[in-house]
Structure 1
């Protein structure tokens, strides 16, 4: 995750609100990292982590991608808020990645720079008791439980590094909106086809949410559409509710291969093309599920 210009606005990869940032930014280094301060977590905060971990873990066998489940088990992080140094030792051995602690959302160039160097920024604070079911800004549970496990997977780890390098280039080209949509619909809210077992979740924004995990797979409301790179890069997304469309990859190899190409010609083709609505279904889409849109309709009717 990253912030907008000068920390004036909060952003989730280009989805912005006017609320002030959380986290203690007073002790940041030049690269926006801080010490995790693991010894300062309270017993209540470790207990909150355990309850969040246990709640999500009960959902994983039914909904999560098997690769994610395997990587999560290897991190052995269920007993309390993880020590980033210990987790980084396992990551470095598996794929050469490591975790760096940050106070919360950080500028885009810093975020991409860390990814390009195989460092994943993880927020060091945990949500409050009142935020167990919904959190607007990513905390340590979202960042670690959702994102870190698949950094143990060699192909996905390579994809994340490539995305960081692509982000630095996109900033220079002024094409961040398109690239942000790719991150949103893969890293945060991606689904994967798991052979005869149907669709599974690999996106961190889903896996760290008790409500959106079953919704993304079973609910009749959202569209589930086969991944197409340019389609994804044109598609708007929701930052204030569950997604109206999920994109499905066949494999992590497919994701890495399709995003390894030079994005320069793609940006040129997309220039001037209108964005696609978050709930749209196109004639060219390969559809797994055509959604009813019932969730959006229900919310609209309730607001009347």
Structure 2
């Protein structure tokens, strides 16, 4: 089912697609912040082997497609051979940008997620997909969260953006702006592109942990590629069961931080008066940026 949705619909769809209408992950052992212990010794040899397969596939795909800061950080993380230990990565990450990783059983409530980010804690799911889910999963697993998200947290500007996003989320919940803010996360943290001297590169975790979209987003002529504008992004619906129809392109991470730093309260009020845009919209005056040469 290919539909454009906002955040509430997104989570309902996840539940409908999960076994028995329940989200995956064991929530029985989590604390009040939905944090659990990463029981690293409980991972099986088969799970470590699956991790290696996933890692090796993506490691071959991301050079020339991922932004350089992602590649540089990934090379330092020593995560190729087995499911990583979160505490070891946290040591290096905290020294670099003051962030830490916290283990969670799966998806967590909005408020909890925003509180973690606002306090420079990134939630990483502990479970790993099954072999038959090698190419696609509905809910984020440890490979998506760790491989896709963690490397950019070593970049100080992007790390600051994530903290401000968390603080913005806490405000948005009081201002009826969560659906708008979820679109911002989707089109930046999950599916963002960045313009470089070498051409378009991906920085979004949903792209960088995908076996197919990492190439599609850069070279396929079908999707739109539009210069990033925060308010425009927050009007735009997104796809959850197919590759994106539009990608938003930032100049650099400083632009991302600066455009999302102001108070969004007046933005939410303006957006209430404007129509929501379909995922494939190109507005008058916008340029559909060309893809990289295939």
Interval of TM-score (by shorter of Structure 1 and Structure 2): over 0.9
Deviation at 1:165, TM superposition (A): 0.2
Alignment correspondent of 1:54: 56
Alignment correspondent of 1:3: none
* Cα 1:128/1:12, change in 2 over 3 Å: farther
Structure 2 unmatched ranges of 5 or more:
1-5, 17-21
Q: Quote the RMSD (CA, aligned, Å).
A: 1.3
CA contact (8 A) 1:14 1:180 kept: no
User: 1:274 & 1:220 partners in 2: Cα distance?
Assistant: 27
Bigger relative contact order, structure 1 or 2 (CA pairs below 8 A, ≥6 apart):
2
Alignment correspondent of 1:84: 86
Deviation at 1:287, TM superposition (A): 2.4
Aligned-partner SS, 2:36: coil
TM-score, length-scaled by structure 2 = 0.93
TM-score, length-scaled by structure 1 = 0.90
1:200-279 → structure 2 map (5 Å cutoff): 200-279=201-280
Alignment correspondent of 2:3: none
Alignment correspondent of 1:120: 122
1:105 to 107, 112, 115: 107
Alignment correspondent of 1:281: 282
Alignment correspondent of 1:7: none
User: 2:93 & 2:270 partners in 1: Cα distance?
Assistant: 38
User: 1:208 & 1:246 partners in 2: Cα distance?
Assistant: 16
Aligned-partner SS, 1:120: strand
Deviation at 1:13, TM superposition (A): 7.3
2:133 to 131, 134, 143: 131
Quick check: 1:192 aligned with 2:207? no
Farther off after superposition, 172-181 or 15-24: 15-24
Deviation at 1:14, TM superposition (A): 5.5
Alignment correspondent of 1:300: none
CA contact (8 A) 2:237 2:276 kept: yes
CA contact (8 A) 1:14 1:177 kept: no
User: 2:225 & 2:118 partners in 1: Cα distance?
Assistant: 30
Deviation at 1:12, TM superposition (A): 6.1
* Cα 1:172/1:112, change in 2 over 3 Å: same
* Cα 1:82/1:21, change in 2 over 3 Å: same
CA contact (8 A) 1:188 1:204 kept: yes
User: 2:168 & 2:58 partners in 1: Cα distance?
Assistant: 31
Structure 1 unmatched ranges of 5 or more:
1-10, 291-304
User: 1:171 & 1:103 partners in 2: Cα distance?
Assistant: 23
Alignment deviations for residues 120-145 of structure 1 (CA, whole Å, 9 cap, x no partner): 00000000000000110000000000
Deviation at 1:289, TM superposition (A): 3.2
CA contact (8 A) 1:13 1:184 kept: no
Quick check: 1:143 aligned with 2:138? no
